[in-house]
Structure 1
Amino acid sequence: MLTNLNLCANLSFMFGEYEDLLERYTQAKNCGFKAVECAFPYNIPIDVLRTKLQETGLKQVLLNTEPGQNLGYAGRKGEEDAFMESLKLSLQYCEATGAGLLHIMSGKKQEGVTEEEVRETLIKNLVKALPLLKEKGVIGLLEPINQNSIPGYNMDNYQLAAGIIRELDDPNLRLQLDVFHMQQIQGNLTKSMEELLPITGHIQVAQVPARDEPNRPGETDYRYVFDLLKEKEYKGWIGLEYKPNMDTVEGLVWIEEMGLKL
């Protein structure tokens, strides 16, 4: 039986029955979650968010950087100042919530900017970001996102992300491995995950193609995926970044069905 994988609720996707993000924290707590993640809580004042976490006792695992108008700045040429400003704001939220992981969003492609220029921009921005991440005790994450979900996103393949992480070779920069995106970008999940787990700082899951519960019909056998993660002794968090096919609470039966626990 699988009992030792750490699951956290993604509040940007789950508990959509409640428009208020703060209420989603309460609902996650009521369902037995010990930890949560969310993308963009930046419309909530820091003190209010901190108080909600204290009230619920939930651990904030991960945030995304403040996205601006183009889902991030890290790979966008000429927007280096905006990247640093967004990073500083995001780190304020990490510090207040205790989030130790920050998905550094790369932004959408710009007309006339080559892939090599995107890579150079990413590296330049990340080199400047690393001292700030270290100071706050936060690990920055790069996440490849498939082109069906976000057309024209800069970080759209694992070669780019893994190459930068290995080149910079810093413990405060790791991969965010979303199985939903990996299946669509390159598939070959077993070999891909075995190769990338050593540089992975966070994992997310959802069924393909509907991005719903892992036990729903689809392309990915999540019983196998979870077995593989246990076999490889993955100790990090697994974010449930899926869109519930039904009522969020009713849909949580998949966790027990797969021998997992909150």
Structure 2
Amino acid sequence: MKFSANLGFLWADRPLPEAIRAAKAAGFDAVECHWPYQESLPDIKAALDETQLPLLGLNTRRGDATKGEMGLSALPDRQGEARDAIDEALDWGAALGACNVHVMAGFAEGEEAEACFLENLRYAARQAASKDMTILIEPLNVYDAPGYFLSTTAQAAEIINQLNLPNVKLMFDCYHVQLSEGDICNRLSRLMRLIGHIQFAGVPARGRPDQGEINYDYIFSHIASLGYSTPLGAEYKPMGHTEDTLGWLVRRQ
């Protein structure tokens, strides 16, 4: 089993190039990030080249973070901004060799929001295809992100199946799924053909994966049995120095 460090949370106190080097030193096989746009793209690229760590993905911009926004692509009155964010993320991803872009939906509901999200995902998929990249959508749990447009794997699967585009996939975050739906292993089995990336964290605190109610040794074995071999994304809040939380990784090396 291989693992990716999500640098939105791990080593978040360091500039992204330094965090990439720290992930390499810790033994991670890949990295991913949230929003790298305030940092130096050439410096990030240099760190990726130096460490030879693949960048699995990044997110489209949230929108106005000071207002708590969590994406724009399901907001009918923000389509121009949403597409600018998609283009930006794909440009950065292509320059950094990233595999995926997570298109964030935002806080919205109803048929108009769904139609807007579908239209923006079609646009994103077309743009991503020319860069050999995949678009990801991710359900967020109802406790951390109440009102987020996408909240369940069933809803995400319906959207992906309706689009029927080969480069639109599900980001399956075990933390979010456990809080909103549970039944992680059966859902992984049913949805594997739609999954483009898997993430994990301890539940309920979103801390390190060897603490909390989930037996990740069992889940990781189940994922391996399904033939999934892409690095799994460690997207948890260290609650201290990241290095002090990596016992779970050391035991698997």
User: In 2, Cα distance between the equivalents of 1:145 and 1:253?
Assistant: 27
Deviation at 1:233? 1.2
| 237-246 or 172-181, larger mean C-alpha shift | 237-246
User: In 2, Cα distance between the equivalents of 1:159 and 1:47?
Assistant: 39
User: In 2, Cα distance between the equivalents of 1:208 and 1:47?
Assistant: 36
Equivalent residue number for residue 29 of structure 1: 24
1:208 aligns with 2:203: yes
Measured against aligned partners, the alpha-carbon deviations of 1:216-260 in whole angstroms (never above 9, x if no partner) come to 1x2211111011101111122210001124432132111243xx3
- The answer as to whether partners of 2:60 and 2:101 remain within 8 angstroms in 1 is yes
- The answer as to whether partners of 1:6 and 1:235 remain within 8 angstroms in 2 is yes
User: In 1, Cα distance between the equivalents of 2:247 and 2:205?
Assistant: 18
What SS does the corresponding residue of 1:78 show, helix, strand or coil?
Answer: helix
Equivalent residue number for residue 45 of structure 1: 40
Q: Which amino acid aligns with 1:239?
A: G
Residue 228 (structure 2) aligned to one of 226, 234, 238? 234
Deviation at 1:178? 0.1
1:74 aligns with 2:94: no
- The answer as to whether partners of 2:104 and 2:137 remain within 8 angstroms in 1 is yes
User: In 2, Cα distance between the equivalents of 1:68 and 1:84?
Assistant: 12
Equivalent residue number for residue 198 of structure 1: 193
Q: Which amino acid aligns with 2:247?
A: V
1:175 aligns with 2:174: no
Residue 146 (structure 2) aligned to one of 146, 151, 155? 151
Equivalent residue number for residue 160 of structure 2: 165
What SS does the corresponding residue of 2:197 show, helix, strand or coil?
Answer: strand
1:223 aligns with 2:212: no
- The answer as to whether partners of 1:178 and 1:205 remain within 8 angstroms in 2 is yes
Measured against aligned partners, the alpha-carbon deviations of 1:103-139 in whole angstroms (never above 9, x if no partner) come to 1100122xxxx42222111111111222101001110
- The answer as to whether partners of 2:2 and 2:230 remain within 8 angstroms in 1 is yes
User: In 2, Cα distance between the equivalents of 1:237 and 1:170?
Assistant: 23
Equivalent residue number for residue 123 of structure 2: 128
Residue 64 (structure 1) aligned to one of 59, 74, 77? 59
User: In 2, Cα distance between the equivalents of 1:38 and 1:50?
Assistant: 13
Equivalent residue number for residue 102 of structure 2: 103
User: In 2, Cα distance between the equivalents of 1:192 and 1:115?
Assistant: 25
User: In 1, Cα distance between the equivalents of 2:113 and 2:148?
Assistant: 11
User: In 2, Cα distance between the equivalents of 1:129 and 1:254?
Assistant: 36
Unaligned residue ranges in structure 2 (runs of 5+): none
User: In 2, Cα distance between the equivalents of 1:207 and 1:220?
Assistant: 7
- Count how many residue pairs are aligned between Structure 1 and Structure 2: 249
What SS does the corresponding residue of 1:91 show, helix, strand or coil?
Answer: helix
1:15 aligns with 2:11: yes
Q: TM-score, normalised by structure 2?
A: 0.93
RMSD: 1.4
What SS does the corresponding residue of 1:93 show, helix, strand or coil?
Answer: helix
User: In 1, Cα distance between the equivalents of 2:219 and 2:28?
Assistant: 21
Unaligned residue ranges in structure 1 (runs of 5+): none
Deviation at 1:46? 2.1
- The answer as to whether partners of 1:119 and 1:160 remain within 8 angstroms in 2 is no
What SS does the corresponding residue of 1:227 show, helix, strand or coil?
Answer: helix
- The answer as to whether partners of 2:141 and 2:177 remain within 8 angstroms in 1 is yes
User: In 1, Cα distance between the equivalents of 2:124 and 2:24?
Assistant: 33
What SS does the corresponding residue of 1:85 show, helix, strand or coil?
Answer: helix
User: In 2, Cα distance between the equivalents of 1:108 and 1:76?
Assistant: 8
